[in-house]
Amino acid sequence: MAGPSASEVIFISVNHSITLMGKVWLIVMIFLRILILLFAGYPLYQDEQERFVCNTIQPGCANVCYDLFSPISLFRFWLVQLITLCLPYIIFIIYVVHKVSNSLTVDLNSSGHIKAMPLFKIHQ
């Protein structure tokens, strides 16, 4: 049986570092928001500028009028909000991957097994 791959080690260590409450928060706050954004927000705001009518026929007027009417799209605002919400989780995963990658050594002489050094050193 082959040793675990690097992606398996990273997944296990990230999974081991997150509490049950953190996993529930992740599912509720991030995955449900992604589902709502993709299945409700995108179809709703997909054609928000298509039916906007400007009072002149000058080229480019519709874009300028719509920008004055709605300076930021709600869909884009929700997307920025979702990215901002995911940022602490992404930073935490990068931190855990960095710690795990610094603590792992690969012994290529003995069929590529991964040896793990302890993450926390106990001083006596």
Which secondary structure element, helix H or strand E, spans residue 104, and what is its range? Answer: strand 104-107
pLDDT (tens, 9 = 90+) of the chain, 124 residues, equals 566 676 777 777 777 778 888 888 888 888 888 898 889 888 888 877 777 777 777 777 777 888 888 788 888 898 899 899 889 888 988 888 788 777 765 555 555 555 555 555 544 4
Domain around 84: 18-45+61-116
Distance CA 108, CA 68 (A): 62
Instruction: Report if residue 121 sits inside a domain.
Output: no
- 3-state SS assignment for residue 20: helix
Tokens 């855990």, residue?
96
Q: Is the pTM of this model over 0.85?
A: no
Instruction: Report if residue 97 sits inside a domain.
Output: yes
State how many domains the chain has.
1
Instruction: Report if residue 99 sits inside a domain.
Output: yes
Instruction: Report if residue 4 sits inside a domain.
Output: no
Instruction: Report if residue 86 sits inside a domain.
Output: yes
Instruction: Report if residue 6 sits inside a domain.
Output: no
Instruction: Report if residue 123 sits inside a domain.
Output: no
